[in-house]
Amino acid sequence: MQRLRRTMMFVPGNNPGMMADAHIYGPDSIMLDLEDSVSMAEKDAARLLVHNALKTIDYGKTEMVVRINPLSTPYGKKDVEAVVKAGVHVIRMPKTETAEEVKELEEEIIKVETELGCVGRTQIMAAIESTLGALNAYSIATASKRMMGIALGAEDYCANLKAQRTTGDSPNFGMELQFARQCIVTAARAAGIDALDTVFSNLNDMDTFRREVEMIKAMGFDGKSIINNGKMVDRPVVIRAQRTIDLAIASGILTKEDLA
């Protein structure tokens, strides 16, 4: 189905207060997240919460997307079962690197859909969050008829690239993501599906947000992911911060005492 996907709002999957009325802000799509915003200990509870919310809450015409945990984790398959049974429109697969991963997800979806008697209902969107994923963008985009879009996950991608995210005041603004963005938008267009840019999470920097939106629009993207407040802690940011600290300690810039 053709539809506008200018804005995709990330909502943490274990926060019922935020899930109850995310649609009032008028995003084209809402992405309930079971992955990075949910701690290991709460994966089961968040899955049940998202399942019940999808079944019950009237989100109107908003497209409902759920970001599941990778199938390689103990959570991924249960996530698929829970959200397909709740009638989700789109499953977003994180950290996609190959077409095979998409096909594996499709098989899991078919299993559940067959049980429900609704084969073909659920669409797939793949998030590309690594250099390998970027280079495989076209084969990922064409891995399944269910593919409706591919998206960039910039934090993990940059970590993998060993580059730093730039802000709007930098002369090199956006340079670190230039190649990945062009890979994704070109692959999406060639495959006839949508291209979505990475989430913007610093709500205190509206200037960078505006520049970034103008830039990705000029590049050909259909839309962008957003969050509705700063509460969502992105795991890659924490991992990158930890890595930076480890490197700093290893190279003698910091000592462990500095952190105490």
Interface with another protein (CB under 8 A): 14-18, 20-21, 24-25, 44-45, 47-49, 51-53, 55-58, 77-78, 81-82, 228-229
Give phi and psi for 128, each to the nearest 5.
-100, 120
| Cross-strand bridge partners of residue 47 | none
Pick between residue 47 and residue 89 the one whose CB is nearest to another protein. 47
| Residue closest to 14 by CA, chosen among 40, 44, 41, 38 | 38
Give phi and psi for 108, each to the nearest 5.
-65, -40
Pick between residue 88 and residue 195 the one whose CB is nearest to another protein. 88
The residue behind tokens 């913007």 is 200
| Cross-strand bridge partners of residue 224 | 7, 197
CB of 255 to another protein, least distance (A): 37
Pick between residue 48 and residue 119 the one whose CB is nearest to another protein. 48
CB of 217 to another protein, least distance (A): 22
Which amino acid, residue 87?
G
CB of 73 to another protein, least distance (A): 14
CB of 82 to another protein, least distance (A): 6
Exposure string (b/e) for 194-217, b if CB count within 10 Å is 16 or more? bbbbbbbbeeeeeebbebbbebbe
Pick between residue 43 and residue 181 the one whose CB is nearest to another protein. 43
Q: What is the number of residues in the chain?
A: 260
CB of 229 to another protein, least distance (A): 6
Pick between residue 58 and residue 257 the one whose CB is nearest to another protein. 58
Pick between residue 14 and residue 136 the one whose CB is nearest to another protein. 14
Do 182 and 228 touch, CB atoms closer than 8 A?
no
CB of 143 to another protein, least distance (A): 24
Residue 189 tokens, joined: 């267009």
